[in-house]
Structure 1
Amino acid sequence: MRKRGTGWTVVGMLATGLVAGLTVGLVGWSAHQQRHRRSLFAPDATSRLAALGYLRAHPSVDSARLLRDYLQWEPLPLLRRKARGVLRRTEQLLRS
């Protein structure tokens, strides 16, 4: 004979696992972004691209200044183009 309420226990366990997984994922993602925030002038182009993504998501006056310096330094045309777009977007957000 099956006990009543067993289904709710399974659903509760699944919901708890889902929330725990999302929490761990968000903490991991935040740590990943924080690491790459400091990688704008890294030797690895992939790290520089991740840093541009971080700066795009966190526009500020300091980000705009940093991007201007980065544009003068960056040797790869693809990343310079990406940085110009991030700088343009950051300046538009700061004006509004």
Structure 2
Amino acid sequence: MESKRLVRTATFALLAVAAAAALGGLLVRDQISRSRRDLFSPHPLRRLAALEYLGGVPASVDTVLLLRDFLAWEQRPLLRKRAQGVLLRLEAGLDSRHPTEVA
């Protein structure tokens, strides 16, 4: 009787952890898509928030290309300057992962 209760409790705990992990994954994916969408928002504050988010993600070619598109599109100097700083950091991160060979 006691062992059945222990197994039931352990199963419930495992299912709860799995559900929490699945929900966390969905929230992260939603946040990433929202940050990319808000980067081109008509609201400057949303664009700034998206830039701050992208400044904290690992460097990737897709993010670098997205920021280059943003720089070509953005007209506000403050947001352009912040985007340039994020872009330089991400490009440096890509360079450090793939150093060029010197002959």
**Cα 1:66/1:55, change in 2 over 3 Å:** farther
Give, in whole Å, the separation in 1 of the partners of 2:76 and 2:15. Answer: 45
Give, in whole Å, the separation in 2 of the partners of 1:55 and 1:34. Answer: 15
CA contact (8 A) 1:39 1:51 kept: yes
Residue 87 of structure 2 is aligned to residue 87 of structure 1: yes
Residue 65 of structure 2 is aligned to residue 62 of structure 1: yes
Deviation at 1:67, TM superposition (A): 4.4
SS at match of 2:32: helix
**Cα 1:41/1:74, change in 2 over 3 Å:** farther
User: Any runs of at least 4 consecutive aligned residues in structure 1 with deviations exceeding 4 A, and if so which?
Assistant: none
**Cα 1:59/1:49, change in 2 over 3 Å:** farther
Q: CA RMSD in A?
A: 2.6
Residue 14 of structure 2 is aligned to residue 15 of structure 1: yes
Give, in whole Å, the separation in 2 of the partners of 1:46 and 1:28. Answer: 21
* Gapped regions of structure 2 (runs ≥ 5): 97-103
Aligned with residue 73 of structure 1, among 66, 72, 75: 75
TM-score (norm 1): 0.68
* Gapped regions of structure 1 (runs ≥ 5): none
CA contact (8 A) 1:40 1:48 kept: yes
**Cα 1:29/1:50, change in 2 over 3 Å:** farther
**How many residues are paired up?**
91
Give, in whole Å, the separation in 1 of the partners of 2:55 and 2:69. Answer: 9
TM-score (norm 2): 0.65
